[in-house]
């Protein structure tokens, strides 16, 4: 797991289970301990599938970020993961970017507009 943590943005390079659940839990726990809540980018480039538990974790993380007026962006999804997101209707819930660079730029623009 590679998580880059700064004051303004957390970038998590996720991997498949069982690490995925642990990575999402770690991010949530770190956010709960943080004085200032950063926006989060979840990079799915190395994730081949998600399960209902992962989706629940992402929804919880999204809720935490919304309460702090921060964003959660998911990026670099495989076709299989994207299909799961579409089937569950979560394409209308989460923010997405095609790749990590675009996701980071989008978060920076959003954060500049909310500060």
Question: Is the pTM above the cut of 0.85?
Answer: yes
SS3 content of the chain, % helix, strand, coil (to 5): 50, 25, 25
Percent above pLDDT 70 for the chain: 91
> For the domain that residue 27 is a member of, what is the CATH number?
3.30.750.24
Q: Are 40 and 10 in contact (CB under 8 A)?
A: yes
Query: Is residue 64 within 8 Å of 103, Cβ to Cβ?
Result: no
Q: What's the confidence (pLDDT) of residue 110?
A: 78
Range of the domain at 35: 2-114
What does the pLDDT look like over 77-93, one tens digit per residue? 999 999 999 999 999 99
pLDDT > 80? residue 3 = no
How many domains does one find in the chain?
1
């Amino acid at each position: 797991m590679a998580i880059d943590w700064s004051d303004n943005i957390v970038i998590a390079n996720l991997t498949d289970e069982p690490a995925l659940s642990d990575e999402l839990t770690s991010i949530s726990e770190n956010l709960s301990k943080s004085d200032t809540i950063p926006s989060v980018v979840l990079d799915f480039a190395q994730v081949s599938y998600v399960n209902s538990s992962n989706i629940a974790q992402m929804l919880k993380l999204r809720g935490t970020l919304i309460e702090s007026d921060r964003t959660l962006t998911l990026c670099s999804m495989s076709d299989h993961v994207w299909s799961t997101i579409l089937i569950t209707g979560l394409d209308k819930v989460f923010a997405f970017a095609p790749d990590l660079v675009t996701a980071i730029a989008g978060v920076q623009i959003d954060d500049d507009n909310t500060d």
